[in-house]
Amino acid sequence: MPKYAPDDDIKLSELTFWMRPLDERAEAFARLRAEGTPRLYPDPQVPFAKPGDGYWALVRHADVLEASRKPQIFSSEPNATTVIDPPAFVQRYVNSMINMDDPRHAKIRRIVSRAFSPRMLAKAEDDVQARATRIVDELIATGPGDFVEKVAARLPVEIICDMLGIPDTLYPRVLRLTNIVLGNADPEYTGVTPEMGRIRTGLGMAKVALASRELHRLAAKLGRERMGRDTGDLTSALVNANVDGEKLTAREFGTFFLLLVVAGNETTRTAIAHGLKLFTDNPEQRELLLEDFDGRIAGAVEEIIRISTPVITFRRNLTQDYEMNGHTYRKGDKVLLFYNSANRDESVFTDPDTFDITRSPNPHVGFGGPGPHFCLGANLARREITVMFKELFTRLPDIRAAGEPDRLVSSFINGYKRLPCTFTVP
């Protein structure tokens, strides 16, 4: 039997750990970083899936970087997004390029990169400004309320849906489905409560499969409508792309479509919501930003991403024996890259728990570590966060969080479901 982590209060495989206050979680990871060797944790018990021999928790910045830079050793196959390989009825919908190594990953990335043409990216940048302006117009008209619903959740989902050619009447549906896919452990989104016992996880998986299937069907419908036609949107570019004879299969298009609407929505939404809370809790940083917004917003965006780390973790799988940081990993081992911990590593970041928009350098891994899986949408996310806060702080300079957020129950996304805000109407 594997020798698992000591039975203390740092139970990374239990959802109760991820429901603890953020400062308690940060303190727990600081303790893990201070230990001499990585900990081995047992796999969570998941219905319909066979647990393995556990996973090693990589919590140091240097280890996360090294694993990210060596995909031939730290593989994303067969799965990079969950600790346990999901059953086939889920995997068929979510097995996107994020769960692939080269050459399959490189093929899809080539096709996708060609689809993101300069014309399309320029249109997206213009659209970010127009939509941010309209969102703040409507926020002023309706008054204070839930910042997530009124602002943070709206901008990224509208941008990605517009890029894909999804009609605006479907935006609420897309948001609901992506909430289920990424909020699969949260009873609010799945209807599955802790009182349901072990079957809870299985029911949550079924909900994820149904939501993913619905998004695939939406992708298939849009793809059929655009096959052989240039409608100027990303769906048209993807289904008609042909790069040196390579094309996306129907399933590859469906899984990439799902990846875009999920990742393109949730991570930026999380960063914008955390950003308002961070500027509220650190008014001196808000004043610093407003003194020279254009000169300091780039650094502020990176620091928001570092502190909030919207995506907490990804998994890698050892293809061979490998020694790193004094520990030997064996072929077949699983590791989890804890980006949230790497972004607070005291050996890299001075005063890592301090929100400092002037921090430089800021080598955070909030968009993933270096290597082939670095976030494809990082620049768009930066643009959305920049434009949204410029619009907010220019027109509503006293906007602030009014109370504590309602946090998402998740070990994968560091999200806010709701965040009350207040401001003076100009």
Looking at residues 392-410, what average pLDDT do you find? Answer: 95
Q: How many domains does the chain have?
A: 1
Radius of gyration of the chain (CA): 21
- Check residues 191 and 82 and name the one with the higher pLDDT: 82
Report the share of the chain in percent with pLDDT over 70: 95
Specify the pLDDT at position 202: 58
User: E strand or H helix at 96, and its extent?
Assistant: none
Reported pTM: 0.94
Sequence letter at residue 411: S
Query: What is the distance between the alpha carbons of residues 78 and 120, in angstroms, rounded to a whole number?
Result: 32
* 50-81 per-position pLDDT tens digit: 778 899 999 999 999 999 999 999 999 998 98
- The residue among 408, 187, 215, 186 whose CA lies nearest residue 311 is 408
Identify whether the C-beta of residue 410 lies closer than 8 Å to the C-beta of residue 186. yes
Contact 29, 341 (CB under 8 A): yes
CA distance 365 to 375: 10
Domain annotation covers residue 1: no
What is the 3-state composition of the chain as percent helix, strand, coil, each rounded to the nearest 5? 55, 10, 40
- Domain assignment of residue 8, yes or no: no
pLDDT at 335 over 90: yes
Cis-peptide into 103, omega within 30 deg: yes
Whole-angstrom distance, CA of residue 28 vs CA of residue 17: 10
Q: What's the whole-number average pLDDT of the chain?
A: 90
Choose among 35, 41, 102: nearest CA to 336. Answer: 41
My answer on whether omega of the bond before 78 falls inside 30° of 0, hence cis, is yes
Task: Assess if residue 322 is contained within a domain.
Answer: yes
In the block, residue with structure tokens 């993933």: 368
pLDDT in tens, 123-156: 888 899 999 999 999 999 999 999 999 999 999 9
**83 vs 284: which has the higher pLDDT:** 284
Amino acid letter, residue 258: L
Tell me the C-alpha distance between 268 and 157, whole Å. Answer: 9
pLDDT of residue 49: 65
Q: What average pLDDT score do residues 176-182 get?
A: 89
Average pLDDT (99-122) is 84
In a domain, 163, yes or no: yes
Is the residue at 2 inside a domain?
no
More confident: 91 or 395:
395
Assess if residue 110 is contained within a domain. yes
Neighbouring-strand partners of residue 206: none
Note whether residue 12 is domain-resident: no
- What local confidence, expressed as pLDDT, does residue 193 receive? 64
Q: Which domain holds residue 363?
A: 17-422
pLDDT greater than 80 at residue 289 = yes
Q: Considering only CA atoms, which of 132, 117, 91 is closest in space to residue 255?
A: 91
- Joined tokens for residue 211: 């939501």
Q: What is the pLDDT of residue 261?
A: 87
- Tokens 């302006």 correspond to 133
Residue 168 within a domain: yes
Tell me the three state secondary structure of residue 309: coil
Q: What is the pLDDT of residues 349-371, one digit of tens each?
A: 999 999 999 999 999 999 999 98
pLDDT at 192: 64
DSSP letters for 63-92: HHHHHHH-TTTEE--S-SS-SSPPPHHHHH
> Is 420 in contact with 404 (CB distance < 8 Å)?
no
In this prediction, residue 352 carries a pLDDT of: 98
Q: The domain that contains 405 carries what CATH number?
A: 1.10.630.10
